[in-house]
Amino acid sequence: MDRNFDFTGFDSTRFDTMSFDAVYYEPAALDYELGKMLRVKYADLPWLPIENHNRIPELTAAANRDFPKLKRHLIVGLRKTHKYMPNHKVSDWLVPYTSSGCRAMCLYCYLVCNYNKCSYLRLFVNRRQMLDRLLKKDAGSLVPQTFEIGSNSDLVLENTITDNLHYTIERFAREGRGNLTFPTKFHMVGPLLSLDHRGKTIFRMSVNPREIIRRIELGTSPLDLRIRGLNDMAAAGYPVGLLIAPVILLPDWQRLYGELIEQLADELSEKVKQEGFIEIILMTYSFVHDAINTEAFPNAVKLLNREAMTGRGRGKYCYRNELRGEAEAFLREKLARRLGTMPILYIS
C-alpha cells in the first residue's frame, strides 16, 4: 500500500506533506517568476494544462474516496478575484492571498466547506499584484489596518515551496502601516526568524492535544515542534498568539485539553507567556466533511456526534450550548491557573 495513504494507524507523522504526483497549471502562470521556478522545481512531475484553477472537470468528478489522491495534486494559477471580507477578531480584513487549499488533511478542515473534495493546494503566482492591492488598501484607510492573509491556506507550509513569506513580510515591513497576521499548524519557521519584520507581522500558532494532532490533523506538525516554532518566533521579535483550535469534544476531552494546557505551561517560553494572547475556537463540522471522511478515511475518528452537536444551517453542525458552556468554563479555569498572563481574546 502507498505509504502516504495508509491511515490505518492514523499517525500523521507518517505523511509527507511535500510530495506531489502531478501539477495542473494555467499556462499564463509560466510568465511569472514563481511559475518558472515551480516549473523547474517540479520538472520530474507531469504538467497538465488547465483553463482555470477553479474548474478542473476530471478532478471535480472524482469520488469522495479519492480525496487523499486529489490532495497529491498541485495546482498552479493566477488569483483573479481579490475580495476582502471584514473581520472582527485579530484582524480587520480577511484577504485572499498567495494560496488556497492545503496539502495536509485535517479531518475538520474549514476549506472543505468552500472547496469540497477539491481542497488541494493551489498556488497563485501573481503575488506582487496581491500585495500591491493590500498595501493600497492599507494606505487608503483612516487608521492602520490588520490583514489576515492565512485564512485560505497554511502559509508556513506554502512557504516551504514558494518562499512567499520572505517577500511578503519584508515588503510589508517597509511599505505597510498596519499589520499582517496568519495562523499555522506547521513548525518550519526557520526561514522567517532573520527577516526584517519590524514587528508588523503577528504570528499565531494553532495547537491541539497530541493525540488529536496524530489522529485528526493528518499531515501537520507534532505539538512539541509547534511549541518550539512559536517560542522561536517570539524570540525573533514577532508579536505572537496561541490559537487553541478547533477544540474537539471527544469523549475524554477534559483529559486531552487538561494535558495540553499542562504541556503548554511547561514548554512555552516566558516571552510567549508575557507577550502572547490566546484565541479559542470550538469545532464546526459539516455534512460535506462527514460524507468525504466516511468514504476516504473509514477507520478515522468519527467527528459528527449528533448527541453533542446541533445543526446551524447549510449542513453545518456545532456543539450544543450546554456543552460549549462546559468546555468554555473548563478552558478558562485551567488557562487562568496555568497561563494566566496570556489574555484570552475570545472563545467562539
Taking the least distance from each CB to ligand SF4, the nearer of 106 and 278 is 106
Report the residue from 95, 111, 130, 318 that binds ligand SF4 according to the rule CB under 6 A. Answer: 111
Residues 6+ apart with CB under 8 A from 274: 341
Contact 134, 79 (CB under 8 A): no
Give me the residues paired with residue 75 across strands. 24, 122
Shortest gap between Cβ of 185 and ligand SF4 (angstroms)? 4
Residue in the block written with cell 505523511 = 15
**C-beta of 126 vs 221, nearer to ligand SF4:** 221
278 binds ligand SF4 (CB under 6 A): no
Of 261, 255, 247, nearest to 319 by C-alpha is: 247
What is the Cα–Cα distance from 117 to 206, expressed in whole angstroms?
23
Q: 30 or 62, CB closer to ligand SF4?
A: 62
Q: How far is CA 80 from CA 72, 103, 129, 326, in A?
A: 24, 22, 10, 44
Question: Segment near ligand SF4 (CB under 6 A), from 89-97, 106-114, 135-143, 286-294?
Answer: 106-114
Q: Which of 23, 90, 105, 280 binds ligand SF4 (CB under 6 A)?
A: 105
Interface pattern 229-258 for ligand SF4 (x via CB under 6 A): ------------------------------
Given 109, 113, 156, 202, the residue binding ligand SF4 (CB under 6 A): 109
Among 162, 181, 201, 220, binds ligand SF4 (CB under 6 A): 220
d(CA 126, CA 119): 20
Site string for ligand SF4, 190-219 (x = CB under 6 A): ---------------------------x--
Residue with Cβ nearer ligand SF4 (175 or 211): 211
Q: Which is nearer to ligand SF4, 29 or 106 (CB)?
A: 106
Other residues' Cβ atoms within 10 Å of the Cβ of residue 274: 10
**Least distance in angstroms from the C-beta of 153 to ligand SF4:** 6
Q: Which is nearer to ligand SF4, 179 or 220 (CB)?
A: 220
Looking only at the bridges linking them, the beta strands covering 316-319 and 284-286 are antiparallel
Distances in Å between the alpha carbon of 338 and those of 240, 261, 270? Answer: 18, 7, 13
Are 266 and 311 in contact by the 8 Å Cβ rule? The answer is no
Reported for 48-53, long-range contacts at CB under 8 A and 24+ positions apart, including other chains, are 48/22, 48/23, 48/24, 49/24, 49/25, 50/24, 50/25, 50/26, 50/75, 50/77, 51/26, 52/26, 52/77, 53/24, 53/26, 53/77, 53/78, 53/122
Span from 59-67, 103-111, 325-333, 336-344 in contact with ligand SF4 (CB under 6 A):
103-111
State which of residues 23, 70, 94, 102 lies at the interface with ligand SF4 (CB under 6 A): 102
Helix, strand, coil % over all residues of the chain, rounded to 5? 40, 20, 40
Select the residue interacting with ligand SF4 from 56, 76, 106, 169 (CB under 6 A): 106
For the bound state, the minimum distance from the C-beta of residue 121 to ligand SF4, rounded and expressed in Å, comes to 9
**CB nearer to ligand SF4: pick between 213 and 342:** 213
Classified as helix, coil or strand, 46 is coil
The dihedrals phi and psi of 168, each to the nearest 5 degrees, come to: -70, -50
C-beta of 153 vs 231, nearer to ligand SF4: 153
Residues within window 148-177 making contact with ligand SF4, judged by CB under 6 A: 153-154
**105 close to 153: Cβ distance less than 8 angstroms:** no
Applying CB under 6 A, among 50, 104, 192, 288 the residue interacting with ligand SF4 is 104
Nearer to ligand SF4, 202 or 339 (CB): 202
Give dist(CA 251, CA 256) in Å, integer.
10
Q: How far is the CB of 279 from ligand SF4 (least distance, A)?
A: 15
Residues at the site binding ligand SF4, with contacts judged by CB under 6 A: 102, 104-106, 109, 111, 153-154, 185, 217, 220
